Amino acid sequence: MIYAQGKWVFGSDHGVYYYDGNTWTRQPIYGLRHGYRVAYGNGRFVVAGVGFGDLGDGVVVFASENRTDWTLTHYRPDPYSSTAYVGDLFYDAERGRFLVVGGTEGNNQTVFVLESQDGTQWQVYGDGAGRDQRAVGIACGGDTCFFQVSYKGILRASSPNIREASVVVGEPTDIFGLTYGNGKFVGVGKVIVSRSP
């Protein structure tokens, strides 16, 4: 859930919900089956999730300036199909960019990062394959990005490229969330064993 333009906004099945302090309003988004993550930046709301219908089951990203008219701006076709997921969507205010992490599950697991300055034109980074990898979180500040990857813990990279990242926090199955604000990275979980990055 985020707060922007005087409203609380969160993604849901087939759309998003807004709350102005008094009333909840649902805004459908055609083609969005599960709206996993919402972010706001550069005057736009961005929703990342999994599509359905004509879009199949791939990863989809929608953008809107008014929270009413949503435009499909990115679509990941096969092999990102029935097992596709979105782990996180983060707006990096320092660099003015949106970042989406996700991938696929099953026998052919993949992890990818999508980057966009305006929420409409996206570049793909860090496509990689390997078992026991599931990108579930991302947070960036300054010249550093931290990725939260299941079974590997928190990884650090100087750019949004999973292949260049190195593990800096262990006990990966106990880490549940990751964010950045006020000049600090914050991770939450149970017992965390770490070393200096």
Does some domain include residue 194?
Answer: no
Q: How confident is the model at residue 173, as a pLDDT?
A: 54
Q: Report the alpha-carbon distance of residue 136 to residue 177 in Å, rounded.
A: 8
**Could you tell me if residue 196 is inside a domain?**
no
pLDDT in tens, 91-120: 988 889 999 888 877 666 777 888 899 888
Asked if residue 96 belongs to a domain, the reply is yes
Q: Where are the extended beta strands (E) located within the chain?
A: 2-4, 7-12, 15-19, 24-28, 32-41, 44-51, 59-64, 71-76, 84-92, 97-104, 110-116, 123-129, 134-141, 144-150, 153-157, 166-169, 175-181, 184-189
CATH number of domain containing 115: 2.120.10.80
Residue 64 maps to a domain: yes
Query: What is the average pLDDT across 143-153?
Result: 76
Question: Is residue 42 included in any domain, yes or no?
Answer: yes
Average pLDDT of 29-56? 82
Q: Which percentage of the chain shows pLDDT scores above 90?
A: 6
CA distance 32 to 101: 17
The predicted structure's pLDDT at residue 79: 47
Please, what is the average pLDDT of the chain? 77
| pLDDT given for residue 17 in this prediction | 77
* Domain-embedded: residue 120: yes
Residue 151 lies in a domain: yes
pLDDT band at 170 (very low <50, low <70, confident <90, very high): low
Q: Is residue 123 part of a domain?
A: yes
For position 140, what pLDDT does the model report? 86
Phi, psi for residue 53 in degrees, rounded to 5: 65, -130
54: left (phi over 0), alpha (psi -120 to 50) or beta: alpha
For 103, the domain range is 2-189
Give how many domains the chain has, as a whole number: 1
**Burial letters for 93-132: b for 16+ Cβ neighbours within 10 Å, e otherwise?**
eeeebbbbbbbbeeeebbbbbbbbebbbebeebbebeeee
pLDDT of residue 131: 53
